[in-house]
Amino acid sequence: MLMASSAVVDGSMTIGDFVMVNTYLLQLYQPLNLLGSTYRMIKTAIIDMEQMFSLMREVPEVRHSSVEC
């Protein structure tokens, strides 16, 4: 964006060209942002599952006894 804005200032690009560069950058940024968010959610879910499975492997200290009243 900085290079495009300096090109507009020196006259080698028009405002329309600047808008086009901005649009292209937005179209590139949004899918990359979505991929990053999806990766972060999957990574968090895997960590949570690992913690859940390690908790399930723990031997309980207190056992349930069936007491009839």
Q: Which two tokens stand for residue 48?
A: 């949570």
Q: What does the pLDDT average to over 24-52? A: 94
Pair 38, 52: CB distance under 8 Å: no
The model carries a pTM of 0.55
Q: Which two tokens stand for residue 15?
A: 């405002």
Q: What does the pLDDT average to over 7-36? A: 91
| pLDDT of amino acid 64 | 74
